[in-house]
Structure 1
Amino acid sequence: MKTCHSEYGQIDRVILKPADSAFKNQMKINNEWKELNYLSPVIFEDSLEEYRNFMDFFQVQGSQILALPPSETSLDSIYCRDTSLATDYGMIFCTMGKKARLPEPKAIQEFCEEKGIPVLGQITSPGTCEGGDMCWLDEKTLAIGHTYRTNLEGIRQIKSLLEPKGIEVLTVELPHYKGPTDVFHLMSIISPLDKDLAMVYSALMPIYFREELLKRGFQLVECPEEEFESMGCNVLALAPRKCLIVKGNPISTKRLREVGCEVIEYEGQEISQKGCGGPTCLTRPLERII
């Protein structure tokens, strides 16, 4: 069965924003990286090679890739998950909580409409939400983080679109952590890898949400503290228990393999580490097969 309401099924269709379309050139990178809070400037030519290798994982398994073209957006547009939520009823386009990213949802909406992808709705100001704060726990349950990027009005609008369709929307209150300038989403602390398996960082997870996951039958694989900042918890399921993780997280990788996951490491110094966006951030899955 194909559905948009999964984080773990085999990816059938996915939207990607290639590095050349997002970064464009070294001059753009040099002009923007500090304001966007990147750790250091991306090396443009190296990012192209990293992204080509990243795309190969989807091509090899036969996923249909819809590549976003260049647009008048920031470097952050490479992290295309944040612009939208894919549902079985159509796309929901976000209003970004990070001001520099405000043009991105319009660009992806125009792209989706051109491709004939159905649209369910648009989150409007003063509501804000970002795709990294939304995580399908199962086909009928969406968890959404209340963060500096996703506010209560944004959550209310998401609920108004999905609850009439029979979708349960769970609000997850997340902590201040490093404050408004940091990239801290719900999916910074949970990555579902199968219907009953998730990589988590419990240290920043509300007790009620962690207990809800256990009640729903999830086995939790803990990301170690020393690998949280290197995105050891940001793991993308290509298919059930087959996942992508950025290189440099050996403990997380070992723990995933111990529970039966096929783990593929990719080189992401330029496309992931410097902008603090892992494989889930780099992808907007549309449909998965479960």
Structure 2
Amino acid sequence: MAVIDGTSRLRKVLMCRPDFLVSAAPINVISEQYTEPLDHDKMMQEYSAVVKAYQDNGVEVVQVTSGKKMPNAVFARDFGGDVKEGYILGRFKKPIRFEERRHYEDIMAGLGIPKIAEVTEGYFEGGDFAFIDEKTLAIGVIDRTNLTGVDEIRKQLEPYGYKVYAVKANPDYLHLDMCFNLVAPKLAIAYEAGLPEDFVTLVKEKGIKIISGTQDMIFKHGYNVEALGDNRVMSLKQNIFINEALRSEGMEVIEVDMTELLKAGGGVHCMTFPLERY
């Protein structure tokens, strides 16, 4: 069984070690701030802490590595999306990530997970992929995914009964998971003011409450969290506002201390590709 939605119990994930991440490639508004080499030992410690946090909470972690031509492969989320029937292979926009596509396709084949859709003409990265409920998907059209890619996915998933909504936002936000995340079946965190009104309306019509923060929190990975199911969520230790707000809604917040890996432009959600969630 693969992934039935975005908030059921997370049982198995795919993660990639940052073995070849040396510097923050200036390909988004976060990473372009950092010109000095990254502290590799610190990144490895942070990566290991996330792996341990998953394992301590009953999540199996499949760990892989990449190669010198794939420094940003640590952000495993981005190669595609995963639904109950199989996975969607995306298509990267930035050349620095081109090599990852075949790399992750081979990994998924080795894991025996069928490819049920593929973007070949447009662009689509997994950071833009989000469940709203079991049959409703939101795909961000922000910086790395375009409408052509969304249309390709929509057509290929339609036979499985999925409805796909495109969500446009400021390109500086990079991916949808930087400004919106579902953390429980009826609870989300987001920079609401930066999302299209029709999307916010859709979310609220589904009975989902939105904890809204500031735009500045996007660039500090405040919304980039991972739902573990059973009202649990993994978040950054420094996300004080979000973490307290989530606890006030009855959520258990598992905090991880991460600062160095963030400089490359991704957080906990970006590093995690869900393989089993039910």
TM-score, with normalisation over the residues of structure 2? 0.92
Q: How many residues align?
A: 273
Given the alignment of the two structures, is residue 89 of structure 1 paired with residue 85 of structure 2, yes or no? yes
- Determine the structure 1 residue equivalent to 2:267: 278
Q: Contact between 1:72 and 1:103, CA under 8 Å: does it hold in 2?
A: no
Cα distance, 1:248 vs. partner?
1.9
- Determine the structure 2 residue equivalent to 1:26: none
- Determine the structure 2 residue equivalent to 1:142: 137
Aligned counterparts of 1:119 and 1:226: Cα–Cα separation in 2: 37
- Within the candidate set 193, 197, 211, 2:201 is matched to 211
SS of alignment partner, residue 181 of structure 2: strand
Aligned counterparts of 1:34 and 1:165: Cα–Cα separation in 2: 38
SS of alignment partner, residue 227 of structure 1: helix
Aligned counterparts of 1:119 and 1:72: Cα–Cα separation in 2: 26
Cα distance, 1:257 vs. partner?
1.0
Aligned counterparts of 2:249 and 2:267: Cα–Cα separation in 1: 21
Deviations 1:81-104 (A, max 9, x none): 010111222221111122211111
Aligned counterparts of 2:111 and 2:216: Cα–Cα separation in 1: 42
Letter of the aligned partner of 1:118 in structure 2?
Answer: P
Letter of the aligned partner of 2:129 in structure 1?
Answer: M
Task: Supply the RMSD in Å over aligned alpha carbons.
Answer: 1.7
Aligned counterparts of 2:165 and 2:25: Cα–Cα separation in 1: 35
- Within the candidate set 239, 243, 254, 2:233 is matched to 243
Aligned counterparts of 1:147 and 1:224: Cα–Cα separation in 2: 18
Letter of the aligned partner of 1:282 in structure 2?
Answer: M
Cα distance, 1:3 vs. partner?
4.8
**Structure 1: segments with no counterpart, 5+ residues:** 24-28
Q: Contact between 2:237 and 2:256, CA under 8 Å: does it hold in 1?
A: yes
Given the alignment of the two structures, is residue 288 of structure 1 paired with residue 277 of structure 2, yes or no? yes
- Within the candidate set 194, 205, 214, 1:224 is matched to 214
Change (3 A) 1:288 1:34: closer
Deviations 1:49-100 (A, max 9, x none): 1111110111112222211222354322111101011122222111112221
Correspondence 1:116-131 to 2 at 5 A: 116-125=112-121, 127-131=122-126
Given the alignment of the two structures, is residue 199 of structure 1 paired with residue 194 of structure 2, yes or no? no
Aligned counterparts of 1:109 and 1:147: Cα–Cα separation in 2: 24
Q: Contact between 2:140 and 2:166, CA under 8 Å: does it hold in 1?
A: yes
Q: Contact between 2:2 and 2:86, CA under 8 Å: does it hold in 1?
A: no
Aligned counterparts of 2:144 and 2:215: Cα–Cα separation in 1: 23
Aligned counterparts of 2:103 and 2:94: Cα–Cα separation in 1: 16
Correspondence 1:163-178 to 2 at 5 A: 163-176=158-171, 178=172
**Structure 2: segments with no counterpart, 5+ residues:** none
Letter of the aligned partner of 2:15 in structure 1?
Answer: L
Per mean C-alpha deviation after superposition, the further-off stretch among 255-264 and 112-121 is 112-121
Letter of the aligned partner of 1:278 in structure 2?
Answer: G
- Determine the structure 2 residue equivalent to 1:267: 257
Q: Contact between 2:147 and 2:166, CA under 8 Å: does it hold in 1?
A: no
TM-score, with normalisation over the residues of structure 1? 0.88
SS of alignment partner, residue 270 of structure 2: coil
Q: Contact between 1:227 and 1:252, CA under 8 Å: does it hold in 2?
A: no
